[in-house]
Structure 1
Amino acid sequence: MEMDAAVLSDALNRLKRAHGQLGGVIAMIENAEDCERVLTQLAAVSKALDRAGFKIISTGLQQCQLARENGEKPPITPERLEKLFLALS
């Protein structure tokens, strides 16, 4: 399934933000900063990645639905959908 980058701009922004946050976490570890602050920032990175992943899945489902309605592609199977969601859990 191909997805338009313009449609995924929100997810891309989330991923870029998470990328920056991860760099910050790495720097914090290298600078031996307080473990509580490191873990808090790491949790924020994890949540940002999860939200981006769910945004990508929901956008992909919308595009798949449109393609199916137009007769361009077959629907996504329940098994495949379950596998995609489990990959993020």
Structure 2
Amino acid sequence: MATNIGDEATEANAGTCGCGCGTGGEGDRHAIAVDGAIKDRNLKRLRRIEGQVRGLQRMVEEDRYCADIMTQIASVHEALRSVGRELMRNHLKHCAAGAITSGGDGAEKMYDELIDMMYKNVR
């Protein structure tokens, strides 16, 4: 069976976070130092994206022109990438920076987590 690059790091870090913000499963982890304005901006973007996706569903139901649907899909992708960039910036600024400067095992876990995130997000 073939494995994806980064699977080993993911399995090794299952249930842990490099920044030490939580030791339970992924549902138990929380971000560190989220700026309220950034959070509000991301929530607004995500609500807008949700509306765009509902619009895509209508376009498909109405048998709209494929190229038009593909244009809207590209728009949704870019909007999601924008939210991802904001989240990555916050993660690097707070979670990763703290874990890396503390050194030791936490830093090593954070390096693995960041490499895993990069592999997942360059697709």
TM bracket (short chain): 0.7 to 0.9
1:16 corresponds in structure 2 to 47
Which ranges of 4 or more aligned residues in structure 1 deviate by more than 3 Å?
A: none
**CA distance change for structure 1 residues 5 and 31 in 2, over 3 Å: closer, same or farther?**
farther
Deviation at 1:87, TM superposition (A): 1.9
Q: What does 1:50-61 align with in structure 2 at a 5 Å threshold?
A: 50-61=81-92
Q: Distance in 2 between matches of 1:82 and 1:12?
A: 26
1:30 corresponds in structure 2 to 61
Q: Distance in 2 between matches of 1:68 and 1:19?
A: 33
Deviates more, 1:3-12 or 1:29-38: 3-12
Q: Report how many aligned residue pairs link the two structures.
A: 86
Q: Distance in 2 between matches of 1:35 and 1:83?
A: 34
Larger of the two Rg values belongs to structure: 2
1:83 corresponds in structure 2 to 116
- TM-score, normalised on structure 1? 0.76
The answer to whether the 8 Å contact 1:8/1:59 transfers is: no
Deviation at 1:68, TM superposition (A): 4.9
- TM-score, normalised on structure 2? 0.58
Deviation at 1:79, TM superposition (A): 2.0
Letter in 1 for 2:113: R
The answer to whether the 8 Å contact 1:14/1:48 transfers is: yes
**Deviation by residue 1:17-37 (Cα, 9 ceiling, x = unmatched):** 111111111110001111111
3-state SS, counterpart of residue 8 of structure 1: helix
**CA distance change for structure 1 residues 86 and 9 in 2, over 3 Å: closer, same or farther?**
farther
Instruction: Indicate which of 73, 94, 102 corresponds to 1:63.
Output: 94
Greater RCO, CA 8 A, separation 6+? 2
